[in-house]
Amino acid sequence: MEDGKQYLFIDFEFTMPEGKLRPEGFYPEIIEVGFAAVMGDQIIDQYSSFVIPVKFKQLSERCKNFLSISQDQVDSGMSFEDLVALLKKYDQTHPTTTVTWGNMDMKVLGQNCQKAGIAFPFRGSNIDLSMEYKRFFGDQNQTGLWKAVQAYGKEGTGKHHRALDDALTTFNIFKLVEKDKSYMKSHEPTTIGDRIDLSKVFDNLAL
């Protein structure tokens, strides 16, 4: 991680329609946020909150069951405007790179901002860690967040599909991948001469 730069490991949970047929005008809205602010490999702050959807305020049964979330929890959450203001505050404090697992989080945040007529809160770059993971390990398909951490012989933090737990799990995978990248850079491939003593081979051939 770059010195002086803040990394925001962030995860959102979204609304979802009841079935394949979406209600007219439906789009996914953020209903939970969790993030960890990291500088120099250390978590300096973390945050978790439910978020009140703007357009479709009533959650579908599918959404509640899949996320193990209740209507009351979401109704007691922060407004979307307050969420964006909070994220903007973090972005203005330090140069910030956001890190997500997959590209949906920033896409949905951008769409929600557009629908609400609010400026996107982040000025820096975004790292899609699922693509970094895919490229590093040469996987043909993108891997799910918790499947990826289990591939390292670890377990995810807390409960899957809870925003803060997923954000912290993303941070843990990031550290593991960066450690592997560092190892690969510092260990260049050995030549056949490094692996065997060629002088002994030549001595034997001379006999």
Active site (catalytic) residues: 13, 161
DSSP 133: H
Query: Cα separations (Å) of 69 from 32, 49, 66, 75, 86?
Result: 10, 12, 8, 11, 23
Count Cβ atoms within 10 A of the Cβ of residue 64 and give its class: 0-12 exposed, 13-18 middle, 19 or more buried: middle
Query: Cα separations (Å) of 28 from 52, 55, 113, 181?
Result: 12, 9, 12, 35
